[in-house]
Chains A and B, each alone.
Chain A
C-alpha cells in the first residue's frame, strides 16, 4: 500500500550504501590482512590493490551516507524518523549539522567518517605499514558499520539504522488520529504524513554553536587513537617491534592534540552554555573522554623514552593499545545506559549493549593476546635507568598519569558493576587525589627538561635550573601570599595540596618557558614539547585557581528576600529572586531584572539582568535565556550568560520563573500573614510591615467612640524608583463587629486591608489591580582566572602540533636521504 507524499529514494539509497560500506570494509580488512601476511612480493601487491579499492569504496559509501542523511535532514523529510526526531521547520540551518550528530547513529557516522579521512592519509603516507595498519583500521570500520546497519540476523538486531521511516519506528503506533477509523490496530491512513506537520526538533539545550563544532573535534580525537593502536598491533603482528615507533609518533601526537582539543571544547561548552555550574564535574561522560587522553599522553612519553634511550618499549605497546581500548570502553559506558543513575547526562539504552560489548571484545582481546604472546620477544634493556637520567623521571611521570587514569576510570565504572552509589561529594572524591597527581606531574614537567637522556651531571642540572627555580619561588610566594587562596571547605590538608599544586604549576610554566626561550635563542629551534608543557601547566594553574576561588554571588544573605517565613531561617541558598525593576542587593553588585524579550520564531526568552558594581565603576547587562515548555519538554531549559574580563568571569543563569497560571488574576486580594519587619514584594517594589498598634477611643462619624478599638498596621512601601510611601490600614472593632478600613497607595496602585490581628501577627490582604508580578530566580557565580585555563589549552595544542610537524619533517628528510 502506498502512502502520499513520502520521499523513499534517499532512504533506499542510504540502505544500499550502508550495506555497501559494511561489505567493502570487510573486504578491505581481509584483503589488507592477506597482503600483510603474503609471502611473495607480488601476492602482497595484488592483495594490497584489492584492499585499497575496497577501502576507497568504503570511503565513498560513508560519504554518500553522510550526504543522503544530511539531505533528508535539510529537506525536512519527516517521513524519516531521524529527520523528524532531531529537526524541525524552525531549526536554523546552522544547527542542522548539530542535529545530524545529536543521535547515536549520526555520531557513529561522524566517527567512521574521520576514520575514512585518516585512512586516506595513511594510504598516502605509510608505505610498508599500509597493509597491516589499514587492515586493523578497516576491521574497526567494519565494526562501526554494523552499528548503523539496522539488520536483523537470526532475530538479533544489529545496529540502529538512521534511514528508518517514522511509520516503521513505532512512534506513530499510539496516535489514533493517524490510523484508519481512529483505531490503532488498523493501518495508517495513506495521507498520514500530512498530519506530521513538524519535527520534534533538536533538543533546545543543544541548539548552540558548540554542538556544531564540539562533536567533530571530539570524534576526530576518538577516531585518531586507532592509528597508534593499529601501528602497535602491526608491529607486534609483523614482529617489527621497533620500526613502527617512528611513523606512529606523529600520529600519537596528532591524537593527543585532537582529543585534548575535543575534551576541552566540551569543557568550554559546559562552562559557556550548559547550566552545570562549571566546566568540569567529573561526570562519567567527561571522565570517559579524559582517560584515553591521559593514557595516550603516557604512551607518547614512553614512545619518546624508547626513541631516545631504548627503554620502555613494552609499556609503549601496552599504553597505545590501551588508549584506543579505553575509547571503546568509554563508548560502551556512555552509550549503554548502565551508568544512568550516576550522571547528569541521560544515557539511553538502545538495546545494543551486547553489540557494544562485542565491539570491545573483538578489538581489545586480540590486541592484548598478541601483546602477551609477543611480550618476551619485544626488546628491552636489562640495565636499569640511571636516576639522574631524563628517561627515568619521564617514565615515572607516565606511570603516574597512567595510574591516575586507571583510578578515574575505576571510580567511574564501579557503580555500574558493584551495587554502590557515588560518594556524597563525588567531585571531592576525585579532586583530593588528582590534586596530588597535579603536584607530581607539574613538578616532573618542570625539572625533567633540564636533565639529559642516559645521565645528567649535577653541575649541569643546577647551573641551568637555579634561575627558573628562584623566579618560581618568588612568583608562587607572591600568589600564595596575596592571592587570597583560602579554600577551607575541605580542611587544611586539601588547601595545602592546592597551594603546593599551584606552586608546582608556576614552577612548571616558568621552567619550561625558560627552557623554550633558551633553546630558541641558542639554536633558534622551536621546542614544541616544552611549549606543550607550558600550556599544560597553565591549564593546571587555571583549574586550581578558578575552582578554588569560585565565588557564589547570588548568596541570599543580605537584602530583602531573606526573612520570609520559617523555611528561610536555614542556611542561605544560592538562588536569588529578582522582581522586575526592583534593584536587589547581591554581594558586590546591585542587580536589576529589567524585562524580557521573546525570540520571534520559538518559545525562547531572553532576560535582561543589569549588574551594577556598588563602587559605581562597573555596569553591564547579561542576557541569560531559557526555552519554556518546548516541544514536550515541560518547564524551562536555561542557557547561561557571562561577562568576560581578563582576570575573571561573571556568570549567571535562570533557575526558576513564575508559573503563569498562578499569576493570572491579580485583581484579587492576596492574603498574607505578616509580623513586624517582614518584607513582601509587589510588582513595582516591596513593602515592609513596620509595626502593629492598637488604639482606643477611635474617631467615628458619630463622634468619638470610647468603647471602640482599632488595630493599625503601619506599612512602608518602597517603590522601584526609590520613593517611599506609608500606608495605614485599620481593623476597627466596635462592640465585637469588625470593619476593615483599607488604605491605598494611589501612585503604586496598591491596596491594603487587614483581615485579622493576633498578637503582633497580622493577616492582611494586598491587592494590585491590573498588574502582573514579573520576576525570575537566578544563580550567579564569579570565576576568577578562567582564561589561564583556556589559554593553556591553546598553548598546549600549538606545542603538540609543533612537535608533530617537527617529527614529520624529520621523517621526510630521512626518507629523501634514504633514497
Chain B
C-alpha cells in the first residue's frame, strides 16, 4: 500500500468520524409539546408569535429581556424568554424558529430566527401591502366618476 493511500484512509476515516459527531451534535425540530417533554434539551421549535398576548420588552428597564408567547401549528402555546434585544420585526414575522430549551415554566430562547415577509429578498407580501397602503388614499371623486362612466 502506498503512503498516500494510508494517509487518504486516515483522512477519510477522520472525515466520517467528524460527520458522525456532527450528526450527534445536531439537534431536532420540535413542536412546543415535545420541547416541553424534553425539558432542558436544546431544540429548534417552529412557531408563530401569539398576537393575542402582550410582548414584554422595555429597553429602559432591561435591554436584555424580552418575553412573549409563541403558538405552534398544533395550537399549543408557551411563554418564551429571550435575553437579548427585541428583534425589531418580531411583530411582523410570519413564523419563528426558536432555538433553546424548555426550563421550568418557559422556553429559554438562545436565538430567534424570524421568517418575515420581505426581510431580505423578493417576498411579495410586504410589496403588496405597500401597494395597498399607497393606493388606499384614493380620492372619493375619482370613484364616483368611475361609477358614472360605467
* Interface positions of A (Cβ within 8 A of B): 85, 102-104, 170-172, 174-175, 177-178, 180-182, 189, 195-198, 200, 203, 205, 340-341, 344-348, 350, 384-385, 387, 392, 395-396, 399-400, 403, 406-407, 410-411, 414-415, 418-424, 429, 433, 556, 561, 564-565, 567-568, 570-577, 579, 631-638, 655-658, 681, 773, 775-777, 779
B77 CB-CB contact with A under 8 Å: no
Which residue of B18, B42, B59, B99 is within 8 Å of A777 (Cβ)? B59
Known: A180-B150, A414-B22, A429-B22. A632 touches B118 (CB 8 A): yes
- Contact status B29-A419, CB under 8 Å: yes
Q: Which residue of B lies closest to A573 (CB)?
A: B64
What are 15 contact pairs spanning A and B, CB under 8 A? A178-B135, A195-B134, A196-B131, A200-B127, A346-B115, A400-B11, A411-B22, A420-B28, A423-B26, A423-B27, A424-B99, A572-B64, A576-B63, A632-B118, A779-B85
- Contact status A346-B143, CB under 8 Å: no
- Contact status A385-B4, CB under 8 Å: yes
- Specify which chain A residues have a CB less than 8 angstroms from the CB of B34 in the assembled complex: none
- Specify which chain A residues have a CB less than 8 angstroms from the CB of B138 in the assembled complex: 177, 195
- Specify which chain A residues have a CB less than 8 angstroms from the CB of B134 in the assembled complex: 195-198
What's the nearest-Cβ distance from chain A to residue B98, in Å?
Answer: 11
- Contact status B135-A177, CB under 8 Å: yes
- Contact status A171-B62, CB under 8 Å: no
B23 CB-CB contact with A under 8 Å: yes
- Specify which chain B residues have a CB less than 8 angstroms from the CB of A172 in the assembled complex: 131
Which residues of B, 83-130, contact A by the 8 Å Cβ criterion? 83-92, 97, 99, 110, 113, 115-116, 118-124, 126-130
Which residues of B, 13-72, contact A by the 8 Å Cβ criterion? 14-15, 18-19, 22-23, 25-29, 42-44, 46, 57, 59-65, 67
Known: A344-B113, A632-B133. A777 touches B85 (CB 8 A): yes
- Contact status B88-A632, CB under 8 Å: no
Which residue of A384, A429, A773 is within 8 Å of B3 (Cβ)? A384
- Contact status A421-B26, CB under 8 Å: yes
In this complex, how many residues of chain B approach chain A with their Cβ under 8 Å: the count is 70
Cα distance A174–B125 when bound, in Å? 11
Cα distance A811–B65 when bound, in Å? 65
- Contact status A421-B29, CB under 8 Å: yes
Which residue of A189, A424, A568 is within 8 Å of B64 (Cβ)? A568
- Specify which chain B residues have a CB less than 8 angstroms from the CB of A104 in the assembled complex: 122
Cα distance A421–B85 when bound, in Å? 24
Cα distance A76–B43 when bound, in Å? 47
- Specify which chain B residues have a CB less than 8 angstroms from the CB of A415 in the assembled complex: 26
- Specify which chain A residues have a CB less than 8 angstroms from the CB of B147 in the assembled complex: 181
B interface, over-half SS: mixed
B7 CB-CB contact with A under 8 Å: yes
- Specify which chain A residues have a CB less than 8 angstroms from the CB of B121 in the assembled complex: 102, 203, 345-348
Cα distance A561–B63 when bound, in Å? 9
Excluding A633-B118, A775-B59, 6 further A-B contacts by CB distance (< 8 Å) are: A181-B146, A384-B3, A420-B28, A564-B60, A634-B88, A634-B89
Cα distance A422–B7 when bound, in Å? 30
What's the nearest-Cβ distance from chain B to residue A404, in Å?
Answer: 9
A-B interface, 9 closest residue pairs, ranked by CB to CB distance from nearest: A573-B64, A635-B88, A632-B126, A655-B85, A567-B65, A421-B44, A575-B63, A634-B92, A632-B130
- Specify which chain B residues have a CB less than 8 angstroms from the CB of A348 in the assembled complex: 121-123
- Specify which chain B residues have a CB less than 8 angstroms from the CB of A197 in the assembled complex: 134
B73 CB-CB contact with A under 8 Å: no
Residue of A384, A414, A421 with most partner-chain B CB within 10 A: A421
- Specify which chain A residues have a CB less than 8 angstroms from the CB of B115 in the assembled complex: 340-341, 346
Cα distance A347–B120 when bound, in Å? 8
- Contact status A565-B131, CB under 8 Å: no
Known: A181-B150, A346-B116. A399 touches B89 (CB 8 A): no
- Contact status B88-A341, CB under 8 Å: no
- Contact status B136-A177, CB under 8 Å: yes
- Contact status B25-A429, CB under 8 Å: yes
Q: Which residue of B lies closest to A658 (CB)?
A: B59
Cα distance A636–B129 when bound, in Å? 17
Q: Which residue of A lies closest to B92 (CB)?
A: A634
Known: A346-B115, A777-B85. A414 touches B26 (CB 8 A): yes
Which residue of A102, A195, A384, A419 is within 8 Å of B135 (Cβ)? A195
Q: Which residue of A lies closest to B27 (CB)?
A: A421
- Specify which chain A residues have a CB less than 8 angstroms from the CB of B65 in the assembled complex: 567-568, 570, 573
Which residue of B2, B60, B129 is within 8 Å of A632 (Cβ)? B129
- Specify which chain B residues have a CB less than 8 angstroms from the CB of A775 in the assembled complex: 59-60
Q: Which residue of A lies closest to B26 (CB)?
A: A420
Which residue of B27, B61, B86, B91 is within 8 Å of A565 (Cβ)? B61
Which residue of B26, B61, B90 is within 8 Å of A422 (Cβ)? B26
What's the nearest-Cβ distance from chain B to residue A403, in Å?
Answer: 5
What's the nearest-Cβ distance from chain A to residue B93, in Å?
Answer: 9
Known: A178-B135, A182-B143, A411-B19. A346 touches B120 (CB 8 A): yes
- Specify which chain A residues have a CB less than 8 angstroms from the CB of B129 in the assembled complex: 632
- Contact status A406-B60, CB under 8 Å: no
- Specify which chain A residues have a CB less than 8 angstroms from the CB of B136 in the assembled complex: 177
Which residue of A171, A189, A198, A414 is within 8 Å of B23 (Cβ)? A414
Cα distance A655–B82 when bound, in Å? 14
